[in-house]
Amino acid sequence: MQLRYYLHKFQKVEISINQDSLINRKELVTSFKQYETEYYQISYRCILTKEGEQKIQYNSYPRMNIIHDKGKIYLDGKYNRGELHYLVNYLISLGSNVKIIYPDELKESYLNQLKEIVQQYD
Residue 91: exposure state from Cβ atoms within 10 A (0-12, 13-18, ≥19): buried
Structural domains of the chain in order of their starting residue, each with its CATH number? 40-119 (3.30.70)
For residue 93, how many C-alpha atoms fall within 13 Å in the half-sphere facing its CB?
A: 13
The mean per-residue pLDDT over the stretch 32-61 comes to: 88
* pTM of the shown model: 0.71
**Could you report the per-residue pLDDT of 20-38, keeping only the tens digit for each?**
667 788 888 888 888 877 7
| CA distances from residue 20 to 1, 23, 27, 112 in whole angstroms, order as listed | 42, 8, 14, 50
The 10s digit of each residue's pLDDT in 103-120 is 999 999 999 999 999 999
